[in-house]
């Protein structure tokens, strides 16, 4: 490397802005890094280690804080004492590709006897290589060449049953649990919360990734140092932004995406096309950041479609792929010699990677494909590396190498140097309650900056409540009033569930953020479910109070203040069950419109079988099960029992029994005569003031006799917990990050 590059890396206070002119060097000389002339003394090394792991409170100034978590790498320009070497050998991965059946009348096949309707497509074919600490290894190739598949294979994102070959770190097979602790994977898409600032985004990531034992001041110091390392100081207090909110630039977003995954300073960093969609300057700055990360003691492996000349100067190892096969593996400086010996010398002023990719594309279109280039690469590798591939690998065991890396300041686990990495290091950096607090704080902060989302939902509930209050204003206790009360409760409860459908996009917007963060153990899935369940309750309480207060007294429902309280809790339980149900569906369905369609349809079925349109006794036996799983049934019955519970309250008296029949238009005198006739026939005196139908009679007519109102309330609440549990299992089994 150039002297300027070493001078930058030897500083302990973060990196100064880089100069593009420092990187215009010959590619042939680039892979050979010059060794520093001076080495720190043993006393200096011990002091740096002690400073990096101490937890004193003398970090008052921001500059000093930046040093705290950076000075473990103050000597990172030295060749690592215990370098990591990631080796992969004979990686092969195939998937089934379904084929269409050929029917006799299609003219191609005369029978359907063959049962083989699928074939195997090879995505990786016997790929080997290695990546070293302090270097960037780039995987290149055209679309469909297998770049992302190779990155996934190295990052343990392909099931071991499907992937053949071996991936080792310092000669030892990596367990999935250990790999998640010491590595990070940066997706191609920038998945960030739009209303958080750059500093807040990185701070929340630090709260997740860094152990609880690390003080708040040190976490802040790590974030500030990371901001400097990523070159984001000027954008630290700028929100990320989205389509409706102006925020940081595309290159800055990409660097923030990298930052949230490297805040715990991983040993292995995998990136899927980190320069995709960026202009040449932004792409160069991103790769320059990756070079800094590598030189601080990490292995960086990334896929890149077509790097520019400047980016090529930052890369240490290249692997060119074509249809899952290696057509070149080596340093950028060896490209001219390789293609010259292959018989296709690179023109002097030609971009080497562009020339290589164009040549590979031409060969792919030839009858023999890239077979000649693949075979030539194999012979080239034998000629250039006659010895064992891993002869330069670290002699230390993986456990000792990781411990030594931590002693130099790495934060991958926060474990003491003498710990057993695979046994005593926790899978997650923090306990469950800490994770819940961080998730809740982040969600509330993001929601606070977008109040319009809750405001729209509250407005919808208030408008619905006002409309119901005016339509059913001051219902009386007549037979028609009793019937209208039934309609009010049915519509009110179903509306409660339908307003919950507005929360469908809530998780769908966070779905891939959640998958990225849980893929490498940022937090537990259970923490996410519990936190989002708890923070949803205050908003549901506000919505329930708003709806109950606008309707209860306006409609003149029964029960006084105690009746209002029960009505409020019934509405709250319905909101809780509906919100849980919609949340569960959003964990199963990945498309917003499909989610809305399913929710609306299922809620319509729930209302149909709730007992309002047809009583339980009249529902066909083969549909009775749907009546008992209807979410509308239980709050509807609870509200009815709360309304019609008073035995002294009468809803039909004497001649009022004719009000809902064709005899309603008959003169009153004739109605009284009919009452006398009925009294004589029944042998009992029925006058115009005799109570004919009480609230209990209405409940019996509706088939509401088997469950009390309190049990209906508890069952509704239980439905909410049930769907939250189902949501957890949907996340557990439906958000896998591995290919099969």
Burial pattern 492-530, b for ≥16 Cβ within 10 A else e, equals: bbbbbbbbbbbbbebbbebbeebbbbbbbbbbbbebbbb
Give strand pairing partners of 302. Answer: 138, 271
Q: Mind listing the pLDDT tens digit for each residue in 226-259?
A: 999 888 999 999 999 887 778 888 889 989 998 9
pLDDT at 544: 95
pLDDT band at 526 (very low <50, low <70, confident <90, very high): very high
Spatial contact of 544 and 688, defined as CB atoms under 8 Å apart: no
Mean pLDDT of 155-174: 87
pLDDT band at 412 (very low <50, low <70, confident <90, very high): low
pLDDT at 604: 92
* Distance separating alpha carbons of residues 299 and 433, to the nearest angstrom: 33
pLDDT at 428: 81
Q: Mind listing the pLDDT tens digit for each residue in 608-617?
A: 999 888 888 8
pLDDT at 549: 95
pLDDT at 24: 39
pLDDT band at 101 (very low <50, low <70, confident <90, very high): very low
Mean pLDDT of 491-503: 87
Q: Mind listing the pLDDT tens digit for each residue in 443-473?
A: 999 888 888 888 888 999 999 999 999 999 9
Q: Mind listing the pLDDT tens digit for each residue in 57-74?
A: 333 333 333 333 443 333
**Model-level pTM?**
0.77
Mean pLDDT of 407-424: 53
Q: Which residues contact 26 (CB under 8 A, 6 or more apart)?
A: 333
Specify the pairing of strand 650-653 against strand 691-694.
antiparallel
> Would you say residue 413 has pLDDT above 50?
no
pLDDT band at 654 (very low <50, low <70, confident <90, very high): confident
Q: Mind listing the pLDDT tens digit for each residue in 6-63?
A: 333 333 333 334 443 444 343 344 333 333 333 333 333 333 333 433 433 333 333 3
> Would you say residue 655 has pLDDT above 90?
no
pLDDT band at 394 (very low <50, low <70, confident <90, very high): low
Average pLDDT taken over every residue of the chain: 80
pLDDT at 528: 94
pLDDT at 419: 45
* Distance separating alpha carbons of residues 133 and 82, to the nearest angstrom: 9
Tokens representing residue 56 in the block: 């004193």
pLDDT at 109: 45
């Amino acid at each position: 490397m150039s002297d300027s590059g070493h001078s930058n890396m030897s500083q302990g206070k973060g990196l100064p802005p880089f100069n593009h002119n420092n990187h215009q060097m010959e590619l042939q000389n680039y892979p050979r890094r010059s060794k520093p002339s001076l080495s720190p003394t043993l006393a200096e090394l011990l002091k740096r280690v002690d400073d990096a792991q101490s937890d004193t409170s003398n970090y008052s100034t921001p500059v000093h804080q930046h040093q705290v978590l950076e000075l473990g790498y103050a000597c990172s320009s030295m060749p690592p004492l215990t370098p990591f070497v990631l080796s992969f050998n004979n990686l092969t991965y195939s998937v089934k590709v379904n084929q269409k059946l050929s029917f006799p009348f299609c003219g191609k096949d005369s029978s359907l006897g063959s049962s083989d309707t699928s074939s195997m497509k090879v995505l990786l074919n016997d790929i080997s290589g290695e990546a070293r600490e302090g270097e960037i290894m780039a995987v290149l190739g055209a679309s469909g060449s297998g770049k992302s598949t190779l990155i996934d294979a190295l990052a343990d994102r392909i099931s071991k049953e499907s992937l053949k070959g071996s991936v080792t770190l310092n000669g030892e097979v990596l367990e999935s649990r250990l790999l998640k602790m010491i590595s990070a994977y940066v997706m191609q898409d920038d998945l960030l919360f739009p209303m958080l600032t750059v500093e807040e985004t990185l701070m929340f990531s630090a709260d997740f990734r860094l152990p609880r034992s690390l003080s708040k001041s040190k976490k802040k110091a790590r974030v500030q140092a990371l901001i400097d390392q990523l070159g984001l100081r000027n954008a630290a207090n700028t929100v990320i932004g989205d389509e409706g909110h102006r925020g940081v630039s595309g290159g800055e977003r990409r660097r923030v995406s990298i930052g949230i995954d490297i805040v715990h300073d991983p040993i292995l960093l995998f990136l899927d096309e980190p320069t995709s969609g960026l202009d040449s300057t932004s792409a160069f700055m991103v790769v320059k950041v990756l070079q800094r990360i590598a030189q601080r003691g990490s292995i960086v492996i990334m896929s890149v479609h077509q790097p520019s000349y400047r980016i090529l100067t930052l890369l240490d190892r290249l692997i060119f792929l074509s249809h899952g096969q290696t057509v070149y593996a080596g340093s950028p400086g060896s490209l001219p010699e390789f293609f010259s010996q292959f018989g296709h010398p690179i023109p002097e002023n030609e971009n080497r990677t562009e020339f290589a990719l164009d040549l590979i594309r031409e060969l792919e279109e030839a009858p023999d494909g890239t077979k000649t280039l693949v075979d030539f690469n194999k012979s080239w590798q034998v000629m250039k590396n006659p010895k064992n591939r891993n002869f330069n690998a670290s002699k230390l065991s993986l456990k000792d190498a990781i411990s030594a890396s931590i002693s130099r300041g790495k934060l991958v686990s926060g474990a003491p140097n003498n710990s057993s990495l695979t046994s005593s290091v926790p899978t997650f950096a923090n306990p469950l309650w800490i994770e819940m607090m961080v998730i809740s704080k982040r969600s509330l902060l993001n929601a606070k900056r977008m109040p319009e989302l809750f405001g729209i939902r509250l407005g919808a509930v208030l408008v619905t409540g006002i409309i119901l209050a005016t339509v059913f204003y001051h219902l009386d206790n007549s037979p028609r009033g009793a019937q209208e009360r039934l309609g009010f409760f049915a519509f009110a409860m179903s509306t409660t569930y339908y307003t919950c459908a507005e929360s469908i996009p809530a998780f769908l917007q966070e779905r891939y953020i959640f998958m990225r963060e849980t893929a490498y153990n940022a937090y537990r899935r259970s923490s996410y479910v519990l936190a989002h369940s708890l923070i949803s309750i205050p908003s549901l309480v506000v919505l329930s109070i708003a709806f109950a207060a606008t309707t209860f007294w306006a409609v003149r429902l029964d029960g006084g203040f105690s009746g209002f309280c029960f009505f409020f809790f019934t509405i709250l339980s319905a909101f809780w069950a509906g919100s849980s149900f919609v949340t569960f569906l959003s964990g199963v369905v990945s498309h917003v419109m499909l989610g809305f369609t399913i929710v609306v349809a299922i809620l319509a079925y729930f209302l149909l079988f709730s007992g309002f349109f047809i009583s339980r006794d009249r529902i066909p036996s083969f549909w009775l099960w749907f009546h008992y799983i209807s979410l509308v049934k239980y709050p509807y019955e609870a509200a009815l029992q709360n309304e019609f519970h008073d035995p002294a309250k009468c809803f039909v008296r004497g001649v009022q029994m004719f009000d809902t029949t064709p005899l309603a238009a008959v003169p009153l005198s004739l109605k009284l005569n009919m009452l006398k006739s009925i009294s004589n026939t029944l042998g009992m005196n029925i006058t115009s003031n005799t109570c004919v139908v009480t609230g209990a009679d209405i409940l019996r007519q509706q088939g509401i006799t088997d469950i009390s109102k309190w049990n209906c309330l508890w069952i509704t609440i239980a439905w909410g917990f049930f769907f939250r549990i189902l949501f957890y299992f949907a996340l557990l089994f439906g958000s896998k990050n591995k290919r099969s």
